[in-house]
Amino acid sequence: MKENIIIHDFIDVAIQSGGWMLLDRVCLNNRIISLIGEPTESVEFDEEKIRTSKELLKELLEIAISNNRVSRNDVKGLAEMSSELRDILTPPPSVVNALFSQYYETSEKEATDYFHLMNVTNGYIEKNISSQEEVVVKKSHFMVQTKLETSHFEEAEICDYCFESEGYGKLNNRNKRIIRMNVKGESWGFSYSQKPIIKEECIFMPEEHKPMIINRQLQETMLNLLDIYPHYFITYNPKVVSELTHGYLYGGEASTPLIQAENDFMFDIPGFVTVSASLVEWPVSVIRLKTTSKKNLINVIEYLTLKWQQYSYPSLDIIAKTEDGLDLHTVISTFRKEEEAYVAELILQDASEAFVRTPDYEALLSNKENKVDFLGVVNLKDHNLTNEEITSVMEGNYEKQQIFKKTPEGQQAFVRFIDTL
């Protein structure tokens, strides 16, 4: 039998994805040819040569260009054809969810490994980073990345966090798939970020289109999600929570630099004997909590947040409220698991001018609204700075953003805050 090897191998990948069977091969072959035209030549199968789905897709597009099905200069046309071909590599939602459940019976990680690989294979997850290097800032290790410029085409408006976005349009969401979950009676979805900036960056979104409120119920949901995905961390972007009409949580592999940072010193919180607490050796002020009780963890977070909202130390510009009585102090909670224990890293925030980012640091960031740099992942625009220059800018920034400075007075203020607990 003779057949174009590129089409043959592409169909192999489609069948391996779980959405098709061997009986579908002829139909898929015809479908691809109807898109790209007949290949100029047929060759014998070469089973020894292995191409990635991305390489195969590129060669299929070359066939389409040679057959005048699309112009090499038609960026949007190429993107639409690419999306239609990648759709062949994407099983329908019912199949994806069924396979995910099947893998989940073996282990949570095996299920997410399957789903992540599918999203890489079908091209939904795009390469978003052009370079990545580790830098040391105030004895802490940060991952500094330079963002890769990628194309994005506007389509008819649809909320990217609604389930209705699954498979929508010709481009951005066509190959998107969402894992459905019942979280204590509430419908939630799980998908991967299309342009990740952290390892296995994922999105958790409620089916209901509504803003999120950072409260006890949301934190309970985050911990319940951790029970489903114990190998990931889960957090939120305060800007997203406060401004988006459809709020969502995000997470990823529990290996960020903040997670790997060492404890500075341990302390007790009276009334919460089952919860261990420590300061974290990190350029910004972070408290780490650990316990096997979800209820106790949330109780401590509520208590600690209330105390932080009331705490002032004027000589260090730490002021709890504005003259109008508005709260300046908030906490960003990041949750993860260590075996049977729940761990929370609480990033203390002060919205006063004294602790905002420096202008030169913010000018480097690819997205100034993103708070992922507090986790130790700094995503920069394209730049011509050396590592030494980047490190210098970061050190200046974190020196400013550090609420409790690494000075005798700063550490005394931190201890005084802990004593209020």
335 in a domain, yes or no?
yes
Distance CA 127, CA 305 (A): 38
Per the DSSP assignment, residues forming a β-bridge with 338 are: 341
- Of residues 99, 372, 143, the one with CA closest to residue 250: 372
180 falls within a domain: no
pLDDT along the chain (421 residues), means of 10: 80 94 95 92 57 92 94 92 95 97 97 97 86 85 81 72 92 92 96 93 96 94 98 92 89 96 92 95 95 97 96 92 91 96 97 93 87 90 84 93 89 89 88
**Three-state SS string across 12-58, please?**
HHHHHCCCCCHHHHHHHHHHHHHHHCCCCCCECCCCCCCCCHHHHHH
Q: What pLDDT score was predicted for residue 30? A: 95
Amino acid 42: pLDDT: 53
Query: Is 298 contained in some domain?
Result: yes
Name the domain boundary from 38, 62, 89. Answer: 89
| Cross-strand pairs, 189 | 180, 205
Return the pLDDT at 281: 94
Contact at 8 Å (CB) between 201 and 133? no
Q: Which of 50, 68, 89 is the last residue of a domain?
A: 89
- Cα(117)–Cα(107) distance, rounded to whole angstroms? 16
pTM of structure: 0.92
pLDDT at 40: 77
Domains: count for the chain: 2
Question: Which residues span the domain enclosing 315?
Answer: 257-355+402-420
**142 touches 376 (CB < 8 A):** yes
- Tens of pLDDT, residue by residue over 184-237, are 999 999 999 999 989 999 999 999 999 999 999 999 999 999 999 999 999 999
Asked if residue 268 is part of any domain, the answer here is: yes
Report how far apart the first and last C-alpha atoms of the chain are (Å, whole number). Answer: 76
Q: What is the pLDDT of residue 1?
A: 42
Place of tokens 């969502």: 248
**Residue 21 maps to a domain:** yes
Q: What CATH number did the domain enclosing 416 receive? A: 3.30.200
Whole-angstrom CA distances from 271 to 77, 105, 291, 308, 421 are 63, 39, 14, 17, 9
Separation of alpha carbons 143 and 80, rounded Å: 34
Residue 117 lies in a domain: no
Please indicate, yes or no, if residue 160 is contained in any of the structural domains: no
Q: Give 205's strand partners.
A: 189
Report if residue 105 sits inside a domain.
no
For residue 77, report the phi and psi dihedrals to the nearest 5 degrees: -60, -40
Domain boundary among 40, 71, 89: 89
Per-residue confidence (pLDDT) for residue 45, from 0 to 100: 47
CA dist list (Å): 410 to 285, 356, 399: 11, 17, 12
Per-residue pLDDT tens over the stretch 6-44: 999 999 999 999 999 999 999 999 999 999 999 876 544
Phi, psi for residue 144 in degrees, rounded to 5: -105, 125
